[in-house]
């Protein structure tokens, strides 16, 4: 994601990413691996904390790889997943 972090689009992307992580990722109860640049996908945190981290620090490098991996784990991309791939791809394009 290369969008400015204060933009509505970025916020939307963060929310979609959280939904995606809870749907296709591997949540442990209420916690997921934080996707932010500081936690680098190794620290378990709650949704509101991850949200704040992503706004404050941005996404970890290789986030798209994570999405691709998570997508493969589910049974083929469904409509929601496809929408999400498009969102991430659009968000990653140069402005
Ligand atoms: Zn974090």
Domain-located, residue 66 = yes
Q: How far is the CA of 11 from the centre of ligand 1 (A)?
A: 15
pLDDT tens per residue, range 41-75: 889 999 999 999 999 998 887 776 666 665 555 55
Residues with CB under 5 A from ligand 1 (ion): 34, 36, 39, 53
Q: How far is the CA of 30 from the centre of ligand 1 (A)?
A: 15
Q: How far is the CA of 37 from the centre of ligand 1 (A)?
A: 7
Work out the average pLDDT over 21-42: 88
What pLDDT, on the 0 to 100 scale, is given for residue 64?
A: 66
Match 């999400």 to its residue by tokens: 84
Q: How confident is the model at residue 91 (pLDDT cuts 50, 70, 90)?
A: low
Domain-located, residue 2 = no
Domain-located, residue 3 = no
Question: ∠ at Cα 27 (26, 31), nearest 5°?
Answer: 145
Q: Of residues 4 and 11, which shows the higher confidence score?
A: 11
Report how far apart the first and last C-alpha atoms of the chain are (Å, whole number): 11
Work out the average pLDDT over 23-46: 89
Domain-located, residue 24 = yes
């Amino acid at each position: 994601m290369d969008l400015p972090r204060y933009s509505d689009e970025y916020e939307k992307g963060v929310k979609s990413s959280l939904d995606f992580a809870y749907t296709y990722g591997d949540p442990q109860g209420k916690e997921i691996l934080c996707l932010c640049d500081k936690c680098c996908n190794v620290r378990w945190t709650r949704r509101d904390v991850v949200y704040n981290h992503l706004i404050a620090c941005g996404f970890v490098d290789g986030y798209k790889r994570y999405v691709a991996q998570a997508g493969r784990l589910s049974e083929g991309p469904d409509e929601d997943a496809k929408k999400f791939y498009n969102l991430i791809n659009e968000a990653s394009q140069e402005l």
